[in-house]
Amino acid sequence: MELKKSPDGGWGWVIVFVSFFTQFLCYGSPLAVGVLYIEWLDAFGEGKGKTAWVGSLASGVGLLASLGCGLLYTATVTITCQYFDDRRGLALGLISTGSSVGLFIYAALQRMLVEFYGLDGCLLIVGALALNILACGSLMRPLQSSDCPLPKKIAPEDLPDKYCIYNEKGKNLEENINILDKSYSSEEKCRSILANGDWKQESLLLKNPTVTHTKEPETYKKKVAEQTYFCKQLAKRKWQLYKNYCGETVALFKNKVFSALFIAILLFDIGGFPPSLLMEDVARSSNVKEEEFIMPLISIIGIMTAVGKLLLGILADFKWINTLYLYVATLIIMGLALCAIPFAKSYVTLALLSAILGFFTGNWSIFPYVTTKTVGIEKLAHAYGILMFFAGLGNSLGPPIVGWFYDWTQTYDIAFYFSGFCVLLGGFILLLAALPSWNTCNKQLPKPAPTTFLYKVASNV
């Protein structure tokens, strides 16, 4: 079913507004978890690697809250891409700044709440604020088909033969009723034998064809047969849908740009997420005095991430800019900035590196754009869900790995060299995979048939 043409406005701006606040409320606190990380270190007295699991799971995978955040993020991005085409980069930039503004505000808010209400009270209030996401979700209306009505439920007997996973077709209702008759007859025989307690008469009852049995009403047997037939066909259909999903997933990974994008996002989140969690502790480990803190480093990251998302999203709308190369450039520059953190020994240098990291972390606004150009708008939800799962996995693994490096060496130097290497490696892998295919696909590709799986990189944008 083809969607309506993207309106590039109208109710789409309402979608942008509510998606902005959804990401603000959903990701503001998890991204500003670095403020709580220091509190957890003091409260639990554990090592940095073990304590980092708390913050990483809050922003990654494994907890109920992070599962909800992942679903919300995919929903806001997908519905925004449906409503915008020509101004998709601007729309994605606007909604993605919600998490960055949330990071800036929640960094100061959580610090204040901890001072007034303690760690437990702070978490309760943040959870209560997140309930406002329900109001935002009620305003999201996905686009429907312009020509076709909503699909109707198909009766089991009308299912096409392609949903049958076996060569032989399923039994019809009459055959099912006959099977039920035999089962009822056998059941009555067993009941009679058990009731009389005469096991010696079992052979006689089985051989005697004149024994009468009380049969169930025909309507009841027909109803049971219909339900049995329905469940059987439904199970076959679900199994076929599952096989189709697996086939589509395999087809996605046959696209080398998508496969490289998958590796790049995993490595990016392993290496790029720790600064937002650990930067405050990095400053404390570098003996930076609290009097020198003009602004929390996490707040600087939040502000510059918002700026980066907005500007990079606007750049993505220019036809003469290749968004894939733009995304690769952000990865390479960010990797170099991570490798430079061990050389920063003052608040000014740490603040400068935080600003650079924050700005290029804004590449999240063009990541859906790149994904759409790689797999197409029809497969965006499927492909983006896969990528976000592994992005969450990277978020979960990155901070504990960096924390373990510190526990092992008592310094963050090797940890951030490792982080920078991961991001640089992902950027160069994506660049090598994209160079031949992205440049040779200047011609408009023919639209594939609905039953085929063809995933090619679109034209330069």
For 278, what's the count of Cα atoms within 13 Å in the CB-facing half-sphere? Answer: 33
Q: Name the DSSP letter for residue 3.
A: B
Q: Last residue of a domain, which of 84, 112, 143? A: 143
Can you tell me whether residue 450 is helix, strand or coil? coil
List the pLDDT tens digit at each of the 461 positions of the chain.
455 666 777 888 999 999 999 989 888 887 777 777 777 777 777 777 677 676 666 555 444 555 667 678 778 888 888 888 888 878 888 888 888 888 888 888 888 898 898 888 988 998 899 899 989 888 888 776 555 554 554 554 554 544 444 444 444 545 555 555 555 554 454 445 445 544 444 444 444 444 444 455 667 666 767 777 778 777 888 888 888 888 888 888 888 889 999 999 999 988 887 777 778 778 877 777 776 777 778 888 888 988 998 899 888 888 888 889 999 999 999 999 999 998 888 888 988 999 999 899 889 888 888 988 888 878 887 888 888 888 878 877 887 888 788 888 888 888 889 999 999 999 999 999 888 654 444 444 444 444 443 444 444 43
Q: Name the DSSP letter for residue 263.
A: H
The answer to the question of residue 209 being in a domain is no
Alpha-carbon torsion, ordered 250, 361, 6, 136, to 10 deg: 100
269, 56 in Cβ contact below 8 A?
no
Range of the domain at 48: 1-143
The answer to the question of residue 404 being in a domain is yes
Q: Last residue of a domain, which of 143, 166, 198? A: 143
Number of domains forming the structure of the chain = 2
The answer to the question of residue 196 being in a domain is no
The answer to the question of residue 452 being in a domain is no
CA distance 404 to 175: 65
Q: What is the reported pLDDT for 436?
A: 66
Q: What is the CATH number of the domain that holds 417?
A: 1.20.1250.20
The answer to the question of residue 135 being in a domain is yes
| 393 & 255 share domain | yes
| 139 & 261 share domain | no
Can you tell me whether residue 145 is helix, strand or coil? strand
Q: Last residue of a domain, which of 84, 108, 143? A: 143
| 133 & 235 share domain | no
Cβ count within 10 A of residue 455: 18
Tokens of 429: 């892998």
Burial of 22 (0-12, 13-18, 19+ CB in 10 A): buried
The answer to the question of residue 4 being in a domain is yes
The answer to the question of residue 211 being in a domain is no
| 273 & 379 share domain | yes
CA distances from 373 to 96, 257, 265, 368 (A): 18, 10, 16, 9
CA distance 414 to 403: 11
| 132 & 255 share domain | no
Count the residues in the chain: 461
CA distances from 137 to 25, 27, 30, 74 (A): 12, 15, 20, 13
| 125 & 254 share domain | no
Alpha-carbon torsion, ordered 440, 445, 450, 451, to 10 deg: -50
The answer to the question of residue 156 being in a domain is no
246, 305 in Cβ contact below 8 A?
no
Q: Measure the N-to-C terminal CA separation of the chain; round to a whole number of Å.
A: 26
